[in-house]
Amino acid sequence: MVLIIPAKNNPILPVMIKVKDIESIVNWFEQHQRSFYAIGWSYLGNQRKIEELFYRAILKVHKELPSFKSRTSFEMWVLSIFIHICRELSLNNSIQASEVSDSHQEIFHTLHQLKEKEREVLVLTYIRKLSKDETAQLLKVPAEQVKELLFSGLQSLRNGMGYREHYHGCKEYKKLYVDYLEKSLERPVKIDFEMHIYHCQDCQEDLAALQEVMVNFTEAIEKFSVPPGFMENVKERIAERESLDRQKKNKRKRNGFIAAGIFVLVIFAGLFTGVFSKLFYTWTEENQELRAFLQENVGERLNLQAESDGVKIKIKSAIADDTQTLIFYEIEDSKENNQYMINIDDGMFIENEREIMVANTFPRYFPPDTEMELNNKEKNIYHGKISLRPLKEDTGTVKLKLNKVMKLKRNPSDSYVNMEPEEGEWNFEIPITKQPSTEYALKEDIEIEGLSVRLDKLILAPTATILQYSIKHVQTKKRIDMINFKNLEINQKTMNADLYGNSYVHEQPDMNWNNFQAYFEPLFEKETNEVKVQFASAYLSIEDHKTIKLDASREYPQTFVYAGSTISIDKVEIGQPTTVIFSNHEIKNRAYESLHFNIQTEDNDSSIEGDYKGVIVDKNGKEYDMHKITPKIFEEMEEPRHFFTVQSLKLHGDKVIPKSLDITGYNTTKYLDDVVEIQTELIVKDKAGTR
């Protein structure tokens, strides 16, 4: 009798793994041979030895499968066996350069020179694409150590791949590099990191070199291929060992559910065009934003569903273009009256992101929209959207995995929304078709606060209207960090600026200019010959140096004058940690909003942890507590400014002695009311590139 372990009763196992049928194990290895072969090559560097590795691993998995317990996933269990055999076979093994194929010689030869734990962490993370927690579980090390090994491994790989320069990135920020590049930093930490990176050339160079190594490594992995006939050799050895005929390869079956009524509705809806399409979606789609996309025929309904412990997630539609991939979803709590949302920074993973999505782009941020009328109709249903990276190709399938959603907890007193994680398992395969965009050259040079600004490009994309602009980067005592816009007027239609849609363009073709993109509401039109740009404000950095000596033996508070304001040093206390607090509560007519500063210490080798208090002031002078601003309040404010009032710093180490507070400059906002009219010149008329 053949015992079958059904996936529906144990979802962490592959579908239809048969305990007494070794062919099902062989088939599983064949489906995963590319990543397992690459892992084997990183240890052994020899095809004959890797055949032996696969042979032993298949036999051991088959032998021990009846006693397999579901304390971990099947894949993790197999990986632990595979890695153990890799280590056994790699004893006294060295890779000769001649043994490695030309296309992978350098990367795998360098990888083999790394320390075992560093190599294993890189292999499991970038070849097998495990999470840090999974890697820690497999290697039996703390998750924090995995992060350290990943960073040190990338550094070692960088040194071995010809990057001979010595990089001087800041010690306290180095530990954030990998999380930042993998977009796993929490938003406040990410903002602080990006502000530091923007002003620190050493960290820029260090981070860029590390990112280049990651890209080169992942590209080498993507190009890695298994030699023809490799699995056939393994199968022949298995067949010779087994005396019984084996069943032909079992094809894995995908579980899916598409209700017949929904399927018919989608087919039926696809027949409508023009006014009928608009009327149809007016009747059938509640979400007004999604309805607009569907009515303009730039997307279609998907209605993919997955459920875990009574929480049902429905992917309603995907709208994609060259700038982003928008996913509209609905989450229903079938047990209680809770609302849940998806947080792209916590609990969400795209299995094939590196393969199908454009690197060096970052998804847009959308806060929870609890004020939307649709989200106040039913207490157990939430409608939301997330932004993903754009696709590399015109079509693709996004393998979206969720192991956590966020429960929204509203505070009736101040409308503030807290989020609590709720674990589960929801998996989707989302078919995506990228829609064409139209681009126009603007070629408009202007001056703001005496500094050169260039309006470069207008992009009419289905998901957004985008203005690309550049700020000249020169070594002056004043520079523009970012420009905020009020609106665009195109074809006598006004598109308001997106408060969360001002982004830095990571690919910079000219080192003398910094490129940015400002997002506005979508236009759903492709032709125009004129655009009006209305500015709102410019965020400036001013260079103004001042050094204030610190002495813990003095009595505090002590005051000093900077940029026309009186700043108080409230506390300097030596301890573990050492504490430094300074403040300025005067907001009216203050020249600066935040300071650029550093604390100099005796050994200059301590890490600094900072906290702050502050207020937000709108254009009319009304003040708001910075820590009590909800997205709804922020969106209703007119051109807010962020003023820091108290800076609390902790210097970690053995009774670190602070010597001075070094201020290098400050940030300030200048309000603008300029309107610029620009003639457009078509760059790309359609997706095919017709000019």
Closest CA to 407 of 318, 531, 309: 309
Nearest to 406 by CA among 388, 392, 429, 386: 386
SS3 588: coil
Q: What pLDDT is attached to residue 97?
A: 39
Give the pLDDT score at 507: 66
Domains of the chain (ranges; CATH) run: 4-236 (no CATH), 260-433 (2.60.40.1630), 438-540+674-684 (2.60.40), 542-670 (no CATH)
* pLDDT per residue as tens digits for the range 308-328: 999 999 999 999 999 999 999
For residue 454, CA distances in Å to 367, 437, 468, 507, 530 come to: 30, 22, 9, 17, 16
- The predicted pLDDT at position 250 comes to 36
Q: What is the pLDDT of residue 631?
A: 65
Whose tokens are 């273009």? That residue is: 321
User: Cis (ω within 30 of 0) for the bond into 188?
Assistant: no
User: pTM for the full model?
Assistant: 0.58
Q: Where are the beta strands (DSSP E) in 473-593?
A: 478-490, 493-504, 513-520, 530-549, 558-562, 565-573, 578-583
Look at residues 297, 315, 275, 289 and name the one whose alpha carbon lies nearest to residue 397.
315
**For each successive 10 residues of the chain (691 residues), what is the average pLDDT?**
34 52 86 87 84 91 78 82 86 50 58 79 83 83 84 80 69 82 80 84 83 79 80 85 48 34 39 52 80 87 90 94 94 92 90 90 82 87 94 94 90 66 94 92 90 93 93 84 91 87 72 88 88 93 94 92 95 92 93 92 77 88 76 76 92 88 94 89 56 46
Q: Distance (Å, rounded) from C-alpha 314 to C-alpha 305?
A: 4
Per-residue pLDDT at 20: 60
Residue 317 CA to residue 303 CA, distance in Å, equals 7
| pLDDT for residue 389 | 92
Quickly count helices (H) and strands (E) in the chain: 18, 27
What token pair was written down for 121?
A: 């962490």
Which pLDDT score, from 0 to 100, does residue 124 have? 86
Exposure class string for 115-131: b at 16+ Cβ within 10 A, else e: eebbbbbbbbbbbbbbe
**What pLDDT does residue 106 have?**
64
What pLDDT score does 686 carry? Answer: 46
| Contact status, residue 130 vs residue 122, Cβ threshold 8 Å | no
Model pLDDT, residue 252:
33
**What is the distance between the alpha carbons of residues 73 and 174, in angstroms, rounded to a whole number?**
33
Burial of 365-385, coded b for 16+ CB within 10 Å and e otherwise, reads bbebbbebebbeeeebbbbbb
Q: Answer yes or no: are the C-beta atoms of 332 and 339 closer than 8 Å.
A: no
Position 1 scores a pLDDT of 29
Sheet holding 565-573, edge to edge: 558-562, 565-573, 578-583, 641-652, 607-617, 623-625
Write out the two tokens for 595.
């300071």
- Alpha helices (H) along 285-387: 288-295, 353-356
| 31-52 confidence digits (pLDDT tens) | 888 888 888 888 887 888 899 9
